Structure 1
């Protein structure tokens, strides 16, 4: 990284280059009418990964998206954008075949290829392999006119990498493991499923999946099909997999208009809505996958060869790795009796937590306002509420704004519109 505190001032710097900030780059290009890399809107993005990637560890060949292809990086904001999924299909020569497939939900690997296709067009605007460590105020005439974005590459020393008028923090999600659990060659978070499962031999005899959501069900399905001689134990605290509520009326909670309604609602109403409709996204499974796993389990019972075994109303109480495997102790919450499982590997599909933008803003926190719960106060346009001493724009988007903007805050469902709102706010200011 080259320090550029004075000679080069960007209009926008994005921290992280996942789907959210990729959609922001597209929105800035679309709205400003510039080409990628144009100097008219000077934008720069910094991404920790060595290349663009989105949940690569869960890109099973037959896994499909859970949202419509129309909720891509641009269509909901601008159907005429050259960055829509349909434009991608046209360029790849597959639009007729996709239409003939009669589906709203493309393969996950295809959608990931679409994201890479869009990201490649902004290659000159992105520094991959870059870890951003802080955002420092630049004071002119008594106000914070700019910020310096500080970071490093390849474990090198910190340096100012870019001065900017606006910074947009889009850090995505961080895998969450139960307290006391650490990853190893035999203990993984589901986000690394494909990366780690490839190291297992086909002689694997016992595998454990912990969790009750979509990732847990997909992990159990994948391991059961990939290792035909292994018993796959699924451990979940519920009686079984709960089905996601994706009914048409309820899905309206992800509509752009719902963000306005949620943002203006009283705090108590916001929490009730989050509680009511958490089953649209959290710890729930697609109906088709749930039914398929049930049929498979029942068929194995009939044939007397049960490899898919559900340990419901149960929880893992200890995990001890040894030279040849992992011993997992599972307590039944209904009977109170523990059961020890000897496994070749354990997969924790225990979800994610929003990445916290606060550590990056340590030098600016005294000027940033908080809500009644102590969280960063964020305006409707995703700009952090600051004192009058801050003139530059500080924006956050992703799941960290769920409490203020609703369930769609960190999801693809509203990415195109959300990023367009941030781009509009930046350009108008």
Structure 2
């Protein structure tokens, strides 16, 4: 049952900070803000209740980061909003201990996030932000709530509206409208429909694509069509030169460190963009064990002469996906040899990723937002895009802070910085140096070899 906070929200009520969007990162902000009791904080979300990637809740799927990448632990291990406290409260801490696996199941992590969202008194669902302006003293936030329109004021905004499914322009809108082509974000909701299909193409090569392919290999491709008895066909294609594993070695993980963020943020925008393009495999790859599992499934099918047909096609770019009377046509070409051909399928599952989409309400405060020459947010080192350092962003800084932006494990770090900044004091000690390696040219004035600097006061 979701707590109803509408009755304690008065028109004109003032907050030190309002978070917009109640995904994992702003839930973490709300949880850590409780460590600064002097702060008046509210987090609003338009949804009726918390949901975290419900369309990819496939059986047995798990996080790609350890469970310590929860809302609070890396900032405050004593917090009551930790994943371990959730396990204790739900009576499952001993089974989790005996399991001896750092990687929580996606389902249980989603349940944990919902548990935290319902415990946080500052979080209000079914509160849609429709407009934001500034009256010279504070932000004025217009809300649509179950009780009608409300307007509250805030000194700071924390934008956590998240990323949205991205589909390339090469996909025919008609195919999307008919549902013959759809994004992986809706796969679990559409899964039963696929039992009536003969030929499915999965486009993309990240973790979501691999999870979909694994599911179809195990439960679909070798089951003859119920009506015709014909064998099925599964095609997995990606323009990537190979099916990249997620790089998870320890020195690579040090790129998710405060000092690497310092280094990355200080580079020219053109160099940051080049590094960002080169580093996609560091956070968009596939778990190595899932790659091995898919290969094992293919091997077993080969030994058993399974009836379905499966094609894995790397270095294959999608030029166009068009809707036809009898299904879909995928025009593709091979990036290596340039050869072009077409694929005819019934359904295309698009594992084409997510992208940041600016919320429309920002138009009312455009004059208070800093931007780079190309129009992207100019995010400072401490996550503000505000001309007056009073608009903070969550996971909208991939181009300025690197691939730590979407990383669950860095959420608590970013929120520590944000809470300290809003409170104008050190609420949480923020690590300065944790890596064994050095990034960039040596500083001739640096003499301290300690990996972790002494905590410093946050500055505005």
- TM-score class normalised by the smaller sequence: 0.7 to 0.9
Provide the rounded CA distance (Å) in 2 between the counterparts of 1:87 and 1:372.
45
The equivalent position to 2:140 in structure 1, one of 122, 142, 148, is 148
CA contact (8 A) 2:61 2:106 kept: yes
CA contact (8 A) 2:371 2:385 kept: no
SS of 1:363's partner is: helix
Provide the rounded CA distance (Å) in 1 between the counterparts of 2:63 and 2:393.
25
Aligned position for 2:204:
211
SS of 1:318's partner is: strand
CA deviations over 1:7-56 (Å, ceiling 9, x no partner): 41122211100001000000101x21x4xxxxx53322221322101111
Alignment of 1:196 onto 2:190: yes
SS of 1:254's partner is: coil
CA deviations over 1:187-222 (Å, ceiling 9, x no partner): 11011110112333x343221100111111111112
Q: What's the offset of the Cα at 1:271?
A: 4.1
Structure 1: any 5+ residue segments left out of the alignment? 35-39, 140-144
After superposition, the Cα gap between the structure-2 partners of 1:307 and 1:49, relative to the gap in structure 1 and judged at 3 Å, is farther
Q: Which runs of 4+ in 1 moved over 6 A?
A: none
CA contact (8 A) 2:69 2:408 kept: yes
Q: After superposition, where does 1:398-417 map in structure 2 within 5 Å?
A: 398=395, 400-417=396-413
Provide the rounded CA distance (Å) in 1 between the counterparts of 2:29 and 2:164.
21
Aligned position for 2:108:
110
The equivalent position to 1:22 in structure 2, one of 20, 27, 33, is 27
CA contact (8 A) 1:189 1:349 kept: yes
Q: What's the offset of the Cα at 1:170?
A: 0.8
Provide the rounded CA distance (Å) in 2 between the counterparts of 1:365 and 1:406.
24
Alignment of 1:186 onto 2:180: yes
Q: What's the offset of the Cα at 1:151?
A: 4.3
Normalization by structure 2: what TM-score?
0.80
Normalization by structure 1: what TM-score?
0.86
SS of 1:11's partner is: strand
CA contact (8 A) 1:224 1:307 kept: no
After superposition, the Cα gap between the structure-2 partners of 1:266 and 1:237, relative to the gap in structure 1 and judged at 3 Å, is closer
CA contact (8 A) 1:77 1:417 kept: yes
RMSD: 2.7
Aligned position for 1:37:
none
Q: What's the offset of the Cα at 1:103?
A: 1.3
After superposition, the Cα gap between the structure-2 partners of 1:362 and 1:69, relative to the gap in structure 1 and judged at 3 Å, is same
After superposition, the Cα gap between the structure-2 partners of 1:48 and 1:176, relative to the gap in structure 1 and judged at 3 Å, is same
SS of 1:64's partner is: coil
Aligned position for 1:131:
128
Aligned position for 1:166:
156
Aligned position for 2:252:
250
Provide the rounded CA distance (Å) in 1 between the counterparts of 2:17 and 2:100.
40
Q: After superposition, where does 1:12-411 map in structure 2 within 5 Å?
A: 12-29=17-34, 31-32=35-36, 34=37, 40-122=38-120, 124-139=121-136, 145-152=137-144, 161-179=151-169, 180-182=171-173, 183=176, 184-200=178-194, 202-227=195-220, 228-229=222-223, 230-267=232-269, 270-271=272-273, 273-282=275-284, 284-305=285-306, 306-321=308-323, 325-333=327-335, 334=337, 336-343=339-346, 345-356=347-358, 359-386=360-387, 390=388, 393-398=390-395, 400-411=396-407
Q: What's the offset of the Cα at 1:177?
A: 0.4
SS of 2:254's partner is: helix
